[in-house]
Amino acid sequence: MERKEFIKKFAYGGSILLTAPAILSACSSSDDDFVPNDPDEPNTDVTIDLTSSTYEDLGTIGGYAYSGNIMIFRTGENTYLALSKVCTHEGCTVAYNHDNGNILCPCHSSRFTTSGAVINGPAPTSLKKYNVQKDGDILTIS
């Protein structure tokens, strides 16, 4: 075998060995449920300015808005609920459907109530709830 041919085969074989784990793990299935990052880690507070036009829908009871991976619902005159947008099944991003009042996962059709409880799976557990505190026009979600 000539040197040039050896180098080509060596490079080709090496590239297959380097990409094989990524390709094979992408196709694997897992029975493990997705566990999102621990929201109890320090420095994970989110601050919402209710006077911002981004959050104007929170001005009325029943209104909702998104901030990063969090959904915020106004549930009363001075009460709010914040839930994770990360499905507990495999980590897909869920979205609120205002028409039917459910939170839906587009990946595997899990449905949740607006309090985060599972209506139907395959999601095994409720969406993570966050603590919400209101101080004037500022919400702090932790």
Q: Is there a single domain that holds both residue 73 and residue 25? A: no
The answer to whether residue 37 is domain-embedded is no
Q: Is there a single domain that holds both residue 61 and residue 116? A: yes
Q: Is there a single domain that holds both residue 56 and residue 125? A: yes
| Distance between CA atoms of residues 12 and 8, nearest Å | 6
Q: Domain range holding 68?
A: 46-141
> pLDDT tens-digit profile of 98-136?
788 889 999 988 999 988 999 988 999 999 999 999 999
- pLDDT band of residue 8 (cuts 50, 70, 90) is low
Q: Is there a single domain that holds both residue 51 and residue 19? A: no
Q: Is there a single domain that holds both residue 51 and residue 104? A: yes
Other Cβ atoms within 10 Å of 78 Cβ, number: 7
Q: Is there a single domain that holds both residue 73 and residue 100? A: yes
Q: Is there a single domain that holds both residue 95 and residue 62? A: yes
76 pairs with which residues across the strands? none
User: Which pLDDT value is given to residue 33?
Assistant: 39
| Distance between CA atoms of residues 48 and 139, nearest Å | 5
Model confidence, pTM = 0.66
User: Which pLDDT value is given to residue 121?
Assistant: 83
| Distance between CA atoms of residues 21 and 27, nearest Å | 10
Q: Is there a single domain that holds both residue 87 and residue 124? A: yes
Q: How many domains does the chain have?
A: 2
> pLDDT tens-digit profile of 17-43?
555 444 444 333 343 433 344 444 445
The one-letter amino acid code at 74 reads: R
CATH number, position 94: 2.102.10.10
Q: Which residue has the higher pLDDT, 53 or 1?
A: 53
- pLDDT band of residue 45 (cuts 50, 70, 90) is confident
Retrieve residue 114's tokens: 């607006």
Average pLDDT across the chain, whole number: 78
| Distance between CA atoms of residues 111 and 119, nearest Å | 5
Q: Is there a single domain that holds both residue 125 and residue 89? A: yes
Reported as half-sphere exposure (CB side, CA atoms, 13 A), residue 39 has a value of 18
